[in-house]
């Protein structure tokens, strides 16, 4: 038994958990940041039905717990349609990823929408009278201003995501807490909890530094 509880063994287990946490975090961002933009276009669409459907969807996702969404994504396809979308260990991870991406895309979409709608109308009109096309106006004029406006709320959301990854354990994704609980805490050892705390502090600290750096980079102009 002694060997199972050795520092190196526990470290190995936790590292595996860290790995999963990292992966979930980066993949969620990778998919949800662009998907959020698509959702925000839907919620600002001139086509009213599309706008309503998108806004209601966003409202539902933002109005229900992420934990519930994890359960729904993981179990409902099997129960209702008898299809096993998410099989095995990787299946659980994929299910968690899908739930996270949908959830975060909706949060990001609202941030994008706020950012885009906050741009003064004159910026579009200036682009228009200078003969710019719609894509030119969006990519050359609007986008950078939106990025600057949304950087702070996005950074909040990203840091929340770091901590939300721990929710994946509810469908038994072997992220850091799952590892901790199943193999370590049950053996009555407490110090790995501090280990995890330090991990999150370093992770969040690094992200905070990154976002501060980006904010500085963009501080050369004011919108």
Partner 1 sequence: MAFLEIKNLRKRFGDNEVLKGIDFSMEKGEVISVIGSSGGGKTTFLRCLNFLEKADEGEFFIENTLLFDAKALYTDTEIREKRLSFGLVFQSFHLFPQYTTLQNVLIPLNLRTFEREGVKRLPFRKRRVAKAEITERNRQKAMEILKSVGLESKINEYPCHLSGGQCQRVAIARALALSPSILCFDEPTSALDPELTGEVLRVIKELKNEGRTMIIVTHEMEFARFVSDRVVFMADGVIEESGTPSEVFDNPKSPKTKAFLASYQESF
- Residues at the interface with partner 1 (CB under 8 A): 120, 122-123, 125-134, 136, 140-141, 144-145, 148, 220-223
In the bound state with partner 1, the residue whose beta carbon lies nearer, of 14 and 137, is: 137
Q: How far is the CB of 128 from partner 1 (least distance, A)?
A: 6
In the bound state with partner 1, the residue whose beta carbon lies nearer, of 34 and 120, is: 120
In the bound state with partner 1, the residue whose beta carbon lies nearer, of 120 and 205, is: 120
Three-state SS sequence of the chain: CHHHHCHHHHHHHHHHHHHHHHHHHHHHHHHHHHHHHHHHHHHCCCCHHHHHHHHHHHHHHHHCCHHHHHHHHHHHHHHHHCCCCCCHHHHHHHHHHHHHHHHHHHHHHHHHHHHHHCCCHHHHHHHHHCCCCHHHHHHHHHHHHHHHHHHHHHHHHHHHHHHHHHHHHHHCCCCHHHHHHHHHHHHCCCHHHHHHHHHHHHHHHHHHHHHHHHHHHHHHCCC
Q: How far is the CB of 219 from partner 1 (least distance, A)?
A: 10
Q: How far is the CB of 141 from partner 1 (least distance, A)?
A: 6
Q: How far is the CB of 221 from partner 1 (least distance, A)?
A: 5
Contacts (Cβ under 8 Å, ≥6 apart) of 169? 175, 177, 178, 181
Q: How far is the CB of 135 from partner 1 (least distance, A)?
A: 11
In the bound state with partner 1, the residue whose beta carbon lies nearer, of 194 and 220, is: 220
In the bound state with partner 1, the residue whose beta carbon lies nearer, of 140 and 163, is: 140
């Amino acid at each position: 038994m002694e060997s199972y509880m050795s520092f190196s063994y526990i470290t190995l287990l936790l590292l595996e958990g860290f790995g999963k946490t990292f992966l979930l975090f980066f993949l969620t961002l990778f998919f949800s940041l662009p998907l959020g933009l698509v959702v925000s276009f839907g919620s600002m669409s001139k086509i009213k039905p599309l706008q309503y459907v998108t806004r209601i969807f966003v409202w539902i996702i933002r109005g229900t717990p992420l934990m519930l969404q994890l359960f729904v994504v993981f179990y409902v396809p099997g129960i209702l349609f008898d299809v096993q979308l998410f099989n095995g260990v990787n299946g659980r991870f994929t299910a968690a990823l899908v739930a996270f991406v949908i959830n975060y895309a909706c949060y990001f979409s609202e941030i994008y929408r706020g950012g885009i709608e906050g741009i003064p109308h004159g910026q579009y009109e200036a682009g228009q009278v200078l003969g710019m096309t719609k894509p030119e106006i969006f990519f050359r004029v609007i986008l950078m201003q939106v990025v600057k406006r949304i950087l702070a709320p996005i950074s909040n959301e990203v840091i929340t995501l770091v901590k939300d990854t721990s929710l994946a354990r509810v469908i038994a994704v072997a992220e850091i807490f799952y590892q901790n609980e199943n193999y370590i805490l049950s053996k009555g050892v407490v110090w790995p909890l501090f280990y995890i705390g330090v991990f999150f502090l370093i992770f969040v600290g690094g992200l905070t530094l990154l976002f501060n750096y980006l904010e500085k980079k963009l501080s050369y102009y004011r919108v």
